[in-house]
Amino acid sequence: MQVHIDVSGSFRNPTEWTLLNLKDGGECSGSFVPADEGRNWTCTLPAGTLTLVTFRPPGASAEIAVRW
């Protein structure tokens, strides 16, 4: 399964996201500065239930879109 991650926001410090497939152990991750120009990643993971883990500091705003 291909998963596309798009990020944007206004926070100036680096943060990261991780996409996990807990059943099969697949993992994809990336780090970004939300205030920078929007970035995107494409991950190939086994089909299954995915869990998105991300850190958002207080006062930060970021938008993370997941498409497959």
Cα torsion 7, 54, 20, 22: sign: negative
pLDDT at 32: 80
Q: Is the pLDDT confidence value at 58 over 70?
A: no
Beta strands in 10-49 (DSSP E): 15-21, 26-32, 39-44
pLDDT tens column, 8-50: 777 788 888 888 887 777 888 888 887 777 777 888 887 778 8
Q: What is the predicted pLDDT for the residue at 60? A: 65
pLDDT of residue 26: 83
Cut 0.75: pTM above it: no
